[in-house]
Amino acid sequence: MTSTASEDPISALRTEAVEQLSAADSADALESWRVEFLGRKGKLTGILRNLGSLKPDQRRAAGAAANRLKGELEAAFEEKLTASKRSGASQPADAIDVTLPGRRPRAGGLHPSTQIMREMLDAFNEMGFQTVEGNEVELERYNFDMLNIPADHPARDMQDTIWIDRDRDSADGGILLRTQTSPMQPRIMEQQDPPVRIVSPGKCFRFEATDATHEWQFHQIEGLAVDEGLSFADLKGTLYEFARRIFGADRKVRFRCDFFPFVEPGVDMSIDWDGRWVEILGAGMVHPRVLSNVGYDPEKYTGFAFGVGPERVALLKYGIEDIRHFFSNDLRFLSQF
């Protein structure tokens, strides 16, 4: 309803203000209403300012009516504001609703590779192996030459790899992303005299055709023990114990002859996966030439070494069907661990 010509200005303003206040349905609309009617330049203030132009007898009555209207409108505004706050109309859409039941905040977690690596390292640490961190960017000399893999050796082809600087003019050869954690063997032996008993976890990179059990980036844990009188029985005993701790006593384990230029003899170890053998590590007795390369006396010392893949171990332990899940950053996979 709008004002009629016969209404006095105060009654007309009351009618207009009440109508518009009841139509104001948001915090913004309420604020606009307040400015329009009660603000410093608002309509009611305008009426109050004009009182001076009235005759004295009219001025008193009009002043009282205008002040009464001001009180009414302020009270109506406060009431509407409180009601709209209670109903949530004045809250932004993303405000926290304190009436909802509590929800657990989403916490981050350790990557499954990190979890399985920690479990594996714990097992080796308990057997007396000390953890040593290594570097992912490696010199050709440590990744290949010191490990008895000269430039023309076919074993290099199997790990044809990611070079950072291949044709560097240096006695250390080129620089590459390491293809295995085995370069930690000569690095550690150069730094200390026997006895040595270390495990070294870290990432490896290979120019690899990927499939369910092969990724182009993956982790390995290198193990190395060198002392007087170490034999192949020590190697087998250590790896059997490791498998028992990770997979339980009932899981079938298989050793087979394998070739790695830096061990002699060499083996690989596989674990039964529903009737199928899946290789988890390569190992062997440290080659006498590798011992000589770092200045150890191969007549006096012997040692064993192994390189085990944590993602392969996790496949078998948790029944994951494809190794490519590990680095595809899919939360549906990662949040299961």
Task: Establish if 284 lies at the interface with ligand FA5 (CB under 6 A).
Answer: yes
Task: Establish if 145 lies at the interface with ligand FA5 (CB under 6 A).
Answer: no
Figure out which of the listed residues 37, 218, 242, 296 binds ligand FA5, where binding follows CB under 6 A: 218
Q: What is the 3-state secondary structure (H, E, C) of 269-286?
A: EEEEECCEEEEEEEEEEE
**How many residues form the binding site for ligand FA5 (CB under 6 A)?**
25
Task: Establish if 283 lies at the interface with ligand FA5 (CB under 6 A).
Answer: yes
Task: Establish if 208 lies at the interface with ligand FA5 (CB under 6 A).
Answer: yes
3-state DSSP assignment of residue 205:
strand
CA distance 97 to 193: 65
Task: Establish if 31 lies at the interface with ligand FA5 (CB under 6 A).
Answer: no
CB of 220 to ligand FA5, least distance (A): 5
**Are the CB atoms for 224 and 303 separated by under 8 Å?**
yes
Task: Establish if 220 lies at the interface with ligand FA5 (CB under 6 A).
Answer: yes
The letter for the amino acid at 266 is: G
Task: Establish if 287 lies at the interface with ligand FA5 (CB under 6 A).
Answer: no
Structure tokens at 5: 């010509």
Task: Establish if 263 lies at the interface with ligand FA5 (CB under 6 A).
Answer: yes
Task: Establish if 69 lies at the interface with ligand FA5 (CB under 6 A).
Answer: no
Taking CB under 6 A as the binding criterion, the range among 100-108, 116-124, 212-220, 237-245 that sits at the site for ligand FA5 is: 212-220
CB of 217 to ligand FA5, least distance (A): 8
Dihedral, CA atoms, 146, 147, 148, 154, nearest 10 degrees? -120
Taking CB under 6 A as the binding criterion, the range among 55-63, 132-140, 213-221, 294-302 that sits at the site for ligand FA5 is: 213-221
Dihedral, CA atoms, 94, 97, 102, 108, nearest 10 degrees? 10
CA distance 85 to 80: 9
Task: Establish if 215 lies at the interface with ligand FA5 (CB under 6 A).
Answer: yes
Pick the closer one to ligand FA5 by CB: 21 or 286.
286
CB of 125 to ligand FA5, least distance (A): 19
Figure out which of the listed residues 13, 139, 281, 290 binds ligand FA5, where binding follows CB under 6 A: 281
Binding to ligand FA5 in span 157-196, by CB under 6 A? 180, 182
CA distance 30 to 27: 5
Closest CA to 221 of 92, 290, 307: 307
Rg (CA), the chain: 40
Give all strands of the β-sheet with 137-139 in edge-to-edge order. Answer: 137-139, 175-177, 163-165
Residue window 305-334: x/- pattern of binding to ligand FA5, with contact defined by CB under 6 A: xxxxx-xx----------x-----------
Q: What is the 3-state secondary structure (H, E, C) of 115-163?
A: HHHHHHHHHHHHCCCEECCCCCEEEHHHHCHHHCCCCCCHHHHCCCCCE
3-state DSSP assignment of residue 181:
coil
Figure out which of the listed residues 129, 282, 290, 302 binds ligand FA5, where binding follows CB under 6 A: 282
CB of 219 to ligand FA5, least distance (A): 8
Chain positions contacting ligand FA5, by CB under 6 A: 180, 182, 206, 208, 214-215, 218, 220, 260, 263, 266, 279-284, 305-309, 311-312, 323
